[in-house]
């Protein structure tokens, strides 16, 4: 296929390499002409996953990329930019979204912002640094069209990147959004040195929150036990290179959220998603105390106070 990957960040760059290795003609579309020129000159992305060899991957600005002639457009941009990016894409090729979050303007799932063309979502435990090193990984593609999901599965699946399909688009997208918020809390547990018991309990209760949200939103609970749910939650909460986990850790150690994000140097999706997820839970009347607590910490309450509040909640059944 002719594929354009819109978004020259770490995951977009890694995914472009993955597609090119599968034999597709790939163009990596970046906003910054300087980044495009550097990729042309050196064969490497100067900003993200700099070790990956981009030989065989074309680079172009978003405006100059051959999007209208593409068979597939992969969108790997921050959730805050997703709506404006997809609104300006020419052509009618299917979109495969790699973005994990909710639209901060409307609170809607990102796939609902795509108009007049098919859309699918890829999610799972996919740390970009490991993907480009050729380490084995798995992901799930969710789409309302099963034939399109299978077509994309066959186009991406390889011996190092195993792809499953799922028709629960709602569940996969909510998993992708919620896990980043839980990872902020898990990083906070790391930063406070609360231990493995506390962190494991936090992640398990976070998964329970995600499941409650899924049920009310019309998703299937089993999706939250799969790659997009439990799988991605585990890697995001434990990986040393996970941005959301690291951000929570830095906040626990005294940094403001803005200072933590600057230190990391890349978009921390959980910071954008947390208040949107909280508001969605309010609209659906779903209890999500960890997500509520993360928002409270981001608004300035001490993390130690949040820990005390969570531990002092009334005992209940699991």
**pLDDT-derived band at 191, boundaries 50, 70, 90:** very high
The token pair that represents 65 in the structure block: 């990329």
pLDDT of residue 316: 79
- The model's pTM is 0.94
Domains identified in the chain, total number: 2
Q: What is the mean pLDDT of residues 183-201?
A: 96
Judgement on whether residues 41 and 159 belong to the same structural domain of the protein: yes
Q: Assign residue 9 a region (left: φ > 0; alpha: ψ between -120 and 50; beta: otherwise).
A: beta
Alpha carbons 16 and 308: distance in angstroms, whole number: 45
Judgement on whether residues 8 and 140 belong to the same structural domain of the protein: yes
Q: What is the mean pLDDT of residues 311-316?
A: 81
Judgement on whether residues 161 and 241 belong to the same structural domain of the protein: no
Judgement on whether residues 128 and 259 belong to the same structural domain of the protein: no
pLDDT of residue 153: 98
Does some domain include residue 28? yes
Judgement on whether residues 32 and 122 belong to the same structural domain of the protein: yes
Does some domain include residue 317? no
Structural domain range at position 304 = 171-311
Q: What is the mean pLDDT of residues 11-24?
A: 96
Judgement on whether residues 198 and 307 belong to the same structural domain of the protein: yes
Alpha carbons 251 and 189: distance in angstroms, whole number: 10
Percent of the chain whose pLDDT exceeds 90 = 90
Judgement on whether residues 100 and 152 belong to the same structural domain of the protein: yes
The CATH number assigned to the domain holding 161 equals 3.40.50.720
Judgement on whether residues 209 and 245 belong to the same structural domain of the protein: yes
Judgement on whether residues 185 and 80 belong to the same structural domain of the protein: no
The CATH number assigned to the domain holding 192 equals 1.10.1040.10
At 102, give phi and psi (nearest 5°).
-120, 160
Judgement on whether residues 115 and 238 belong to the same structural domain of the protein: no
How does pLDDT run across 34-75, given as a tens digit for each residue? 999 999 999 999 989 999 999 999 999 999 999 999 999 999
Alpha carbons 224 and 233: distance in angstroms, whole number: 9
Alpha carbons 213 and 221: distance in angstroms, whole number: 9
Q: How confident is the prediction for the chain on average, in pLDDT?
A: 95
Among residues 150, 167, 184, which one ends one of the domains? 167
Q: What is the mean pLDDT of residues 257-261?
A: 96
By annotation, the residues acting in catalysis are 179
Q: What is the mean pLDDT of residues 92-120?
A: 96
Does some domain include residue 316? no
Judgement on whether residues 304 and 290 belong to the same structural domain of the protein: yes
Judgement on whether residues 175 and 162 belong to the same structural domain of the protein: no
How does pLDDT run across 114-160, given as a tens digit for each residue? 998 999 999 999 999 999 999 999 999 999 999 999 999 999 999 99
Q: Is 98 in contact with 11 (CB distance < 8 Å)? A: yes
């Amino acid at each position: 296929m002719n594929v354009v990957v819109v978004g020259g960040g770490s995951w977009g760059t890694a995914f472009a390499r993955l597609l090119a290795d599968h034999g597709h003609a790939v163009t990596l579309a970046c906003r910054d002409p300087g980044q495009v020129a550097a990729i042309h000159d050196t064969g490497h992305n100067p900003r993200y996953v700099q070790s990956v060899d981009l030989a065989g991957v074309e680079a172009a600005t978003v405006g100059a990329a051959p999007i209208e002639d593409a068979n597939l457009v992969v969108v790997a941009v921050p959730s805050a930019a997703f709506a404006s990016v997809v609104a300006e894409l020419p052509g009618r090729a299917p979109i495969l979204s790699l973005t994990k979050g909710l639209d901060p303007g409307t609170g809607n799932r990102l796939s609902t912002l795509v108009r007049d063309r098919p859309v699918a979502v890829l999610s799972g435990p996919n740390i970009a640094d490991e993907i480009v090193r050729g380490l084995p990984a798995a992901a799930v593609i969710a789409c309302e069209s099963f034939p399109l999901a299978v077509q994309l599965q066959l186009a991406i699946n390889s011996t190092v990147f195993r792809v499953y399909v799922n028709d629960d688009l709602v569940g996969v997208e909510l998993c992708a959004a919620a896990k980043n918020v839980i990872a902020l809390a898990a990083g906070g547990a790391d930063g406070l040195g609360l231990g493995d018991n506390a962190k494991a309990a936090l992640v398990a209760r976070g998964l329970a929150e995600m499941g409650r949200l899924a049920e009310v939103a019309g998703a299937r609970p089993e999706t939250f036990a799969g790659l997009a749910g439990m799988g991605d939650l585990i890697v995001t909460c434990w990986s040393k290179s996970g941005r959301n986990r690291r951000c929570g850790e830095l906040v626990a150690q005294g940094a403001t959220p803005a200072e933590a994000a600057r230190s990391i140097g890349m978009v921390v999706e959980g910071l954008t998603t947390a208040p949107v997820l909280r508001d969605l839970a309010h609209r659906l009347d779903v209890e999500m105390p960890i997500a509520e607590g993360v928002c409270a910490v981001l608004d300035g309450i001490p993390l130690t106070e949040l820990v005390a509040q969570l531990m002092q909640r009334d005992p209940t059944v699991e």
